Structure 1
Amino acid sequence: MAGRKGPDLTAGPIGKTLIAFALPVLGSNILQSMNMTANMFWVSRVLGETGVTATNNASQVFFMMQGAAFGVTMAANILIGQAIGAKNEALARKVIGTATTFFVALSLAIGVLGGILTPHILAAMGTPPAARIDAIAYLRVIFAAMPFVFFFNYLMMAQRGTGDSRTPFYFALLQVGLDIVFNPLLLMGLGPFPKMGIAGSAASTLISQGITLALMMIHLYRQRSILMLRPSAWSLLIPDLKIIWTMVSKGTPMAIQMMVISLAAVTMLSFVNRYGVHTSAAYGAASQLWTYVQMPAMALGAAVSSMAAQNVGAGKMDRVERVAIVGALYAVLFTGLPILVLQAIDPIVLQAFLRSTSPSLPIAVHINNIALWSFIPFGVAFILSGIVRATGAVWPPLLAMVISLWAVRIPVAKVLEPHLGADAIWLAFPVGSLTTLLLAGGYYFWNGWGGWRRSRMLDMTPSADAPDTGLGQPMAAESEAITDEEQRELGLATNA
């Protein structure tokens, strides 16, 4: 099928397709975590605490920028997915052209402005003076890499919108591998490479992202991907203001949601820090495990969003419902199993971060006994919110997150703390997660006027005289019957 290498997410067995799509996404997430760990390892060994402090401060700015861009890239992903599902290649290419111009312009502007304002940004953050010079050097190179980082992330998300999650994984593997190799070489000046100090760590990101992005674009062009516009279609790079408005208006709530989560995490950490270094270290060790426990649900959430977007575009809302059921059951299974394993060997695993004789170790075990199970309802809520967002209904998931974090989790911790001490903080996690599930589930099952099932990003209907584009068969009716194979899958998932 010309121009499209990913599977058709609007047909075939849901469970098998969902797992096949989610595994490369999970692999990409794990690779990014490993990359950050490896970079921090080299910086800490070569430059010590000052280098770690500088890197952490600069990285906070970098992650904030990525979080802000995440919403718009996700909106572009959903738009492309809905257009692909609707077999409307003309609209898909129009979205791709506008998104390409938008992300190039946005990333260049952020890169230039960020480089100029770097000292002021770090001063506003209160970066310790001893680490500020290194932080400035690091962050300025990171801002220079921002155009490559933003456009790389956009292309990865866009490929998932077309139904292809494997190609982004392969290039993420290449990017992380290059970054890990270049980091010590540029940091310490090994062999023919210049000794750049902390700027070398950031330069490795710039070089690895630049090389990988170039190779990815060459690969997509040679594969005749719909994401790479040929010279004859360069007129589509002229931005469509309606599409830009849709990406920004739909992407902003998703970006705000990322910030809401980050600010809530910082607030909870401030509560923890009041109990001293042992409790703080225990919480830090426990949260390291939480990062990996959440990954399967996050990968499944990305998969169901892409699958749902294509099926929404195809008008197969009954299949969207089945994607939600299978995705939610898989979230319970693939979040619950790691939790069971961790609960069985908790002290052993935590010793990767804490000494066996550390007073923090039993505290960390206690924290996990209370809070670890909260990621099961959170994972299911993440799936349901991903389904809802795939239609373009982006404000209700944001509202649910704001309520569960800022009206429930944080107040519960604050109100119960005088009575329960630190346990109030750990109990606030399952209470907040259950609230998120109740709100997300309530909105998902609500089918009243203005519900998410009636929401759409844009009009996806192809014109009546549009030629066959090779994107697939004509749009199926919404009342598509469930197949015997899908019935068996639903039964197996329910039993699981």
Structure 2
Amino acid sequence: MAGSANPTGRGPGQRDLTQGPIGKTLLLFSLPTLASNILQSLNGSINAIWIGRFLGEDALAATANANIIMFLMFSAVFGFGMAATVMVGQAMGRRDITAARHAFGASVGFCLFLSVLIATLGWFGAPRILTMLATPPEAFPLALAYLRIIFLAMPGMLLLVMLMMGLRGSGDAMTPLWFMIVACILDAGLNPVFILGLGPAPRMGIAGSAFATAIANYASLVALLIYIYARDLPLRLRGAELRTLLPSVADIRLLVGKGLPMGLQMIVISTAGLILVGLVNREGTLTTAAYGAAQQLWTYVQMPAMAIGGAVSAMAAQNVGAGLWDRVSRIARTGILFHLAITGVMVALILIADRPLLALFLGGGSPAIEIARHIQFLASWSFIIFGISMVLFGVMRANGVVVWPLIILIIAMFPVRLGFYFLAYGWLGADALWVSMPVGSFAAASMAALVYLKGGWRKQRPMILPEDEECKDAVNAETEPAGRMKPTG
């Protein structure tokens, strides 16, 4: 199939990640992903400002409850999206566009089914979900109105994420960025329009914020689909290829088997964060406020490692598919160096300018500022260490290794981090909370490095969907062995 499987061309912004200087290629591929992450966070902050300013604290509390549900949904789709990124990347590395389209179509079809199911169950189950979250009575009706529309927006939101992650697997990080910009501008711009009922728009209150999010994501999704076909990007599906949108049981088994552990990694991290918040709350209001302000800054500190980890996965996957293992090792080293440089600079900046930055959230005269500065001094550098494990996980994930990273995170976040807290609290007090973060990060990075160096993860079979495997076997069976021999260089 290789002869008929070569891409006919590359879309704007699309890169062949198996060629060229690794440092420059990885940097140029990481930056659009980092920009997309920053835009998403800024968009959420802007929407929170609109809701808080126009509708008050109860409405803001209502969105906080709904956002927990959204995060869980996105965690699951992130896992399936990363599985799609890796499968598409490996296929593109093999120059097998047929397999890339099959992986892309099966992933999008599975995501469509899953998102429609989530939307339906969520609409009817929203009251029970909010009750289980112990939503305050005064915020309950607002949260219900907001959450139900968010569930209706889910298919558009989740499909948009899946398409973007598939495109990144093909080597295109710029197209997802442009359409993320479109979605964020529409969302932030339409929020006040539908909240307040400006112009011909109806006044919808908090439901207007969710409605604006729905419009923004569906509009961006449709625009992205039009762009993919108008530019004839390599992953577009036509004719018989559209059948891949109905994934087989074997397709779903592979997607779930690889995607679920990756989604669970996000849930493990967030669960550990929620437990930490509960422990912080025991230290009093000032400490809680200080931690909340520090966490706002940490949101941005974490982004380079996430972006580089995602870029490393896509880049390494293409090189795994091409069998260029020397480049895979160099990608890992380069990714770690970029992470150390970028995250290190960001940590240094927030420690140098900590007082004015924290004052943005706490006010210049707040007594919580000194507590927040102390927290940052003890804990901020943990993100430099933790990011090393994120990059190594990204490289291993590129060859379909997903269980080891999950196991490492579970051990580092719970027995190590929480164990240290309970053992050290008697002599460190609240500082045991902040010191537990670098302790857990060091454990995660050490275990990740051990598995990367000694774990035999390179022996994993490529992530090939069943029909593609059968096709390859048929071709191999009909070809003379001598005809398949290639120089090893």
TM-score higher than 0.5 = yes
1:167 and 1:67 map into 2 onto residues whose CA distance is 22
1:40 and 1:370 map into 2 onto residues whose CA distance is 29
Asked if 1 retains the 8 angstrom alpha-carbon contact of 2:122 and 2:148, the reply is yes
Instruction: State the Cα distance separating 1:183 from its structure 2 match.
Output: 0.3
Change (3 A) 1:447 1:135: closer
Asked if 1 retains the 8 angstrom alpha-carbon contact of 2:83 and 2:258, the reply is yes
Which stretches in structure 2 are left out of the alignment for 5+ residues?
A: 1-6, 476-483
1:255-286 per-position Cα deviation (integer Å, ceiling 9, x unaligned): 11111111100111111111111111111111
Instruction: State the Cα distance separating 1:478 from its structure 2 match.
Output: 10
Q: Does 1:95 align with 2:110?
A: no
1:356-406 per-position Cα deviation (integer Å, ceiling 9, x unaligned): 221111111111111111111111111011101110010000111011110
Q: How does 1:109-124 map onto structure 2 within 5 Å?
A: 109-124=117-132
Q: Which residue of 2 aligns with 1:370?
A: 378
Q: Which residue of 1 aligns with 2:345?
A: 337
The residue type paired with residue 290 of structure 2 is A
Asked if 2 retains the 8 angstrom alpha-carbon contact of 1:184 and 1:190, the reply is yes
Q: Which residue of 2 aligns with 1:489?
A: none
1:75 and 1:439 map into 2 onto residues whose CA distance is 23
Q: Which residue of 1 aligns with 2:152?
A: 144
Asked if 1 retains the 8 angstrom alpha-carbon contact of 2:65 and 2:135, the reply is yes
Q: Which residue of 2 aligns with 1:162?
A: 170
2:211 and 2:161 map into 1 onto residues whose CA distance is 18
Q: Over aligned residues, Cα RMSD in angstroms?
A: 1.8
The residue type paired with residue 398 of structure 1 is L
Asked if 1 retains the 8 angstrom alpha-carbon contact of 2:195 and 2:204, the reply is yes
Match of 2:62 among 47, 54, 68: 54
Count of aligned residue pairs for this structure pair: 470
Asked if 2 retains the 8 angstrom alpha-carbon contact of 1:318 and 1:478, the reply is no
Instruction: State the Cα distance separating 1:100 from its structure 2 match.
Output: 2.3
Q: Which residue of 1 aligns with 2:52?
A: 44
Q: Which residue of 2 aligns with 1:355?
A: 363
Percent identity between the aligned chains?
44
1:190-245 per-position Cα deviation (integer Å, ceiling 9, x unaligned): 11110001100000011001111111100001111232212353233332332221
The residue type paired with residue 24 of structure 2 is K
Q: How does 1:155-304 map onto structure 2 within 5 Å?
A: 155-304=163-312
Q: Which residue of 1 aligns with 2:4?
A: none
Q: Which residue of 2 aligns with 1:408?
A: 416
Per mean C-alpha deviation after superposition, the further-off stretch among 86-95 and 43-52 is 86-95
SS in 2 for 1:129: coil
1:104-153 per-position Cα deviation (integer Å, ceiling 9, x unaligned): 11111111111011111111111111111111110110011111011100
Q: Which residue of 1 aligns with 2:313?
A: 305
Q: Which residue of 1 aligns with 2:436?
A: 428
The residue type paired with residue 462 of structure 2 is R
Asked if 1 retains the 8 angstrom alpha-carbon contact of 2:99 and 2:464, the reply is no
Q: Which residue of 2 aligns with 1:132?
A: 140
SS in 2 for 1:109: helix
Q: TM-score, normalised by structure 2?
A: 0.93
The residue type paired with residue 197 of structure 1 is G
Change (3 A) 1:109 1:476: farther
1:129 and 1:354 map into 2 onto residues whose CA distance is 27
Which stretches in structure 1 are left out of the alignment for 5+ residues?
A: 467-474, 481-496
SS in 1 for 2:464: coil
Instruction: State the Cα distance separating 1:182 from its structure 2 match.
Output: 0.5
Instruction: State the Cα distance separating 1:288 from its structure 2 match.
Output: 0.9
Asked if 2 retains the 8 angstrom alpha-carbon contact of 1:26 and 1:299, the reply is yes
The residue type paired with residue 457 of structure 1 is M
Instruction: State the Cα distance separating 1:77 from its structure 2 match.
Output: 1.2
2:84 and 2:412 map into 1 onto residues whose CA distance is 27
Asked if 1 retains the 8 angstrom alpha-carbon contact of 2:101 and 2:236, the reply is no
Q: Which residue of 1 aligns with 2:480?
A: none
Q: Which residue of 2 aligns with 1:456?
A: 462
